[in-house]
A and B are shown apart, each in its own frame.
Chain A
C-alpha cells in the first residue's frame, strides 16, 4: 500500500488520486468528530476536512508519510467553529450516561451506576477543560494519534503535548474519582492547570 504522502504528491498531477485518502480516513475523521460535535455535524466535518485538505494539499509536508495528523488537525480547526455545539454534545453525553458505554465496558467498570457516574464525570470534565488540553486529549484518545502525531496535528512541540495530556488526564481522573460532584472536580482540575503552568 502506498504511503499517504505518495497519494498527496500524486494528486498534484492527478487530482482524482486524492479520493484514495478519503477512502482511507473519512470514517476515522467521522468517528473523531462525532464524539465531539455529534453525528449530524460530524458528517459535515468529515466532508469539509477533505475539501480543505484537497485545497491545501500543496502545504502538506511530504516528508511525513502519515497524513492522519494533518487531516485530524484540519478537522480540529474546523470544529473550533462549533464550540457551542461541542458543549451541547458533552451535555448530551451527560444525558446519555451509561447508555453511551458498551456493555462489556460497563462490566469492567463494575456496575451500570458506576458507569453512569464515570461518564457524567468525564463529560463534565471535558466540557470545562481548556480547549488546548481537550484537543490534545481527544486527538490522542479518539483520533488514535500518538504524541508525535498530536504534535504534528496541533503544530506544537512533543513536550507540550506531553504536558497537556498529563494535565488533561489528571483532570479526568480527579473528576471521575469524585464523580458525584463533577463540577467541583473540574474546578479542582483547573486549579491544577494554573499550578502547572505557573
Chain B
C-alpha cells in the first residue's frame, strides 16, 4: 500500500453527526433568510419598473429638497384627495387614543404580524415560477425599551404555487422540512437583534420629525433614488414603518398625516378585506410597476389593519391578474403581561454557537464561535 492510499484510508470513518449537519444547514438558512426577502422584493419590484430615477435626476431632486426643506416640499405638489385625507386624519387621531394605552411595568406590547407575498424563482432554462410565501412573527416590546425584547419568527412557509407545474421547483427552493422547523427565538435589549443597533433594526424613530411636512421631507431625502418613484417609495416607507408596530404613537400619527400629503393618494377600495378584517384602503398606484400600494384602516375606529399591494395590470410570466393582491400584511397589537422565555440576540446563529452580537458566517465569527 503506497503512502497516498494509506493517507486516504486514514480519513475514512470520519463523518459529521446528523445534529451537526442540521445545525450547519440551519446556519446557512439563517444567512439565506437574512438576504432572501429583501432580494425577492427588489427583484419583484424591479421587474416591473420601466425606468428608475436616474442619478442626475436624483441629484437634482436632492437640490430641490434641500432648498425646499424648510419651506416644506411635502404638500407642495398637492396631496391625497379629500376623502382619503379625512380617513388618514381619523387614523392619526386614533393612533393616539386607540392603540397607545400606556404599558405598566413588566408588561409588553405584543405585535403579531404576518405578510403574504408573491415571489418567483427560475431554474436554468426553466419557466419563471411564481408562488406565494408567508412570513409571520410575534414581537414582544417591553415597557422599558432598554429591557429585553423577544421576537418569535416562524420559518418562511409556502402558501401556494401560482405557476402550473412549479411545485417541484418550489419544493427545492423551500423544502417542506425547513418550513416545518421550530420558530426562531430571539431576545435582546432595545430589540437590537442580529448584531444590529435598535435604530438599524427598527428605524431611527428619534430622528424622524413629528411634524408631518418635515417628516415627509425627511422620508423623501432618506429614500432618494430608491424604489420606483419618490412618492411611491415614501408611501412604502410609511407602510413599512406602520407595519412594524413599534413606532411610538406620535410618530404613527405623523406618518399617517404625511401619507395624506403624497400626491396621488386616494381611497382605492372602501371594502378592502385583509386577513378576515374589512377596512378602507388608501393608496396610490405606482405607474412604474403596475402595483397599487395601500394602507388599510378600520374606518370607524381609525385603527390600522394592515397594508397590501395590488396588481393593477396582469403581471407577465405569472398567473397574477389585474386586481390580484401581490402582497399583504396584517398587524395586530395588544398588551400582554408576559413574553416567552428563552431566546438569544442572534437566534439560530447562537444555536449554531456564534458569539452574541456577531453574525454567523462572517469571517471573524465562525458558527462555533471564536476558539
Contacts and interface: CB of A to CB of B under 8 A. Distances in A.
Interface in A1-51: 2, 6, 9-10, 13-20, 22-23, 26-27, 30-32, 34-35, 39-48, 50-51
B123 interface: yes
A43 B9 contact: no
A1 to B, nearest CB: 12
A122 to B, nearest CB: 6
Interface stretch (A97-105, A146-154, A155-163, A190-198): A97-105
B228 interface: no
B361 A54 contact: yes
Contacts of B361: 48, 51-52, 54-55
A179 B177 CA distance: 50
Interface in B13-29: 13-16, 20-21, 23-25, 27-29
Contacts of A85: 371
A172 B3 contact: yes
B313 interface: no
A34 B14 contact: yes
Given A16-B173, A22-B24, A44 B367 contact: yes
Contacts of B4: 140-141, 169, 172
Q: Interface size class for chain A?
A: 35 or more
A124 interface: no
Interface string A70-102: 000000001000100100000001000000111
B172 interface: yes
Contact of A10 (B35, B123, B360): B123
A16 to B, nearest CB: 5
Contacts of A40: 368
A17 B173 contact: yes
A112 interface: no
A50 B15 contact: no
B25 A26 contact: yes
A19 B29 contact: yes
B6 A51 contact: no
A54 B1 CA distance: 39
A142 interface: yes
A67 interface: no
B366 interface: yes
Given A10-B121, A16-B32, A31-B15, A48 B10 contact: no
Nearest to B13: A102
B32 A10 contact: no
Interface string A117-150: 0110010000000000000010011100000000
Contacts of B366: 44-45, 47-48, 78
Interface string B91-128: 00000000000000000000000000000111110000
A42 B39 CA distance: 31
A118 B15 contact: no
Contacts of A105: 1, 6, 9
Contacts of A102: 9, 12-13
A35 B371 CA distance: 18
Interface string B343-358: 0000000001100000
Name the residue among B7, B24, B174 with the largest chain A CB count within 10 angstroms.
B7
Contacts of B172: 17, 20
Given A102-B9, A105-B1, A54 B32 contact: yes
Nearest to B365: A48
A15 B39 contact: yes
Contacts of B77: none
A35 B123 contact: no
Contact of B24 (A50, A52, A172, A173): A50
B175 interface: yes
Given A16-B174, A19-B25, 19 more contacts: A10-B124, A17-B123, A19-B28, A31-B11, A32-B11, A44-B367, A45-B366, A47-B366, A55-B361, A101-B9, A102-B9, A109-B6, A119-B6, A122-B6, A122-B10, A142-B8, A169-B3, A173-B3, A176-B6
17 contacts: A6-B124, A13-B39, A17-B173, A27-B15, A27-B21, A30-B21, A31-B14, A32-B11, A34-B11, A42-B14, A46-B16, A55-B31, A102-B12, A105-B6, A122-B3, A141-B7, A172-B4
